């Protein structure tokens, strides 16, 4: 078909959106995401869990192209399983983040995905790593996706070092609620994962149960 002779949407770039966040606390990490998957103006999945297990105590939060992000997560999950068998112990969080970084950089021209890697290991405790097009940086917290642009001011103002696990969980929930209220590409329910030495806790917060703010 010649360019411009078909429907306009066939030649448009499909935009995707999401909101993801992860934060460290003394002894662990908390990750969170919304659940809406969109393709342009269409919502194609209302309840996708964007927090993907990489290993027993390591998760990643997915944003960008859902297919690309899921593929990276599956590749890293497999490689971490092999790595843990080779070394005879659980892998480090940094190892998982480095694998994500390497794949993201190698295929940066083909893939459109941004993953935040977070988890707990015996060497360094709770850790959060941002990976984007080959970047790898450890941060006390990280946000990503289209909804993040609406909440950078909030997270910068509200974050403080030394927050407890419960405070970090509420920080994540509040951030997601604010982003989902403003960003048309974020919505649905909130998925929360809390990881420490002793447990991995997964939680789903329905949209009606999310906190409300001034204009809600």
What are 184-210's pLDDT values in tens digits? Answer: 889 999 999 999 999 999 999 999 999
- What does the pLDDT read at residue 216? 56
Q: What is the dihedral of CA 123, 58, 172, 38, to 10 degrees?
A: 150
CA neighbor of 92 nearest in space, from 67, 63, 64, 129: 129
Quick check: is 5 catalytic? no
Rounded Cα–Cα distance for residues 57 and 200 (Å)? 7
pLDDT band at 134 (very low <50, low <70, confident <90, very high): confident
| Active-site position among 16, 18, 19, 175 | 18
**Dihedrals φ, ψ of 192, to 5°?**
-130, 135
Please enumerate in sequence order all residues whose Cβ is within 8 A of that of 66, keeping only pairs 6 or more positions apart, or say none: 16, 37, 45, 48
What kind of fold does domain 15-205 have according to CATH?
Answer: 3.60.20
- The whole-model pTM stands at 0.90
Each domain of the chain, given as residue ranges in start order, spans 15-205
Q: What is the pLDDT of residues 18-74, one digit of tens each?
A: 999 999 999 999 999 999 998 777 888 899 999 999 999 999 999 999 999 999 999
Burial group, residue 187, by CB count within 10 angstroms (0-12, 13-18, 19+): buried
């Amino acid at each position: 078909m010649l360019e411009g002779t078909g429907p306009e949407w066939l030649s448009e770039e499909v935009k995707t959106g999401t909101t993801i966040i992860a934060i460290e606390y003394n002894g662990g990490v908390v990750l969170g995401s919304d659940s809406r998957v969109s393709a342009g103006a269409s919502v194609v999945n209302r309840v996708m869990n964007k927090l993907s297990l990489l290993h027993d105590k390591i998760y990643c939060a997915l944003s960008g192209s859902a297919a690309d992000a899921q593929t990276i997560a599956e590749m890293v999950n497999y490689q971490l399983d092999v790595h843990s068998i080779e070394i005879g112990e659980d892998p480090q969080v940094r190892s998982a983040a480095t694998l994500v970084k390497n794949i993201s950089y190698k295929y940066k021209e083909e893939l459109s995905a941004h993953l935040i890697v977070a988890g707990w290991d015996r060497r360094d405790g709770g850790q959060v790593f941002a990976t984007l097009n080959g970047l790898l940086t450890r941060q006390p917290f990280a946000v990503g996706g289209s909804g993040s642009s609406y909440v950078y001011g909030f997270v910068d103002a509200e974050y403080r070092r030394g927050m407890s696990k419960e405070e970090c969980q509420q920080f994540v929930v509040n951030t997601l609620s604010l982003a989902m209220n403003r960003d048309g590409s974020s919505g649905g329910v909130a998925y929360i994962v809390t990881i420490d030495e002793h447990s991995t806790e997964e939680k789903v917060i329905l949209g009606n149960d999310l906190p409300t703010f001034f204009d809600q």
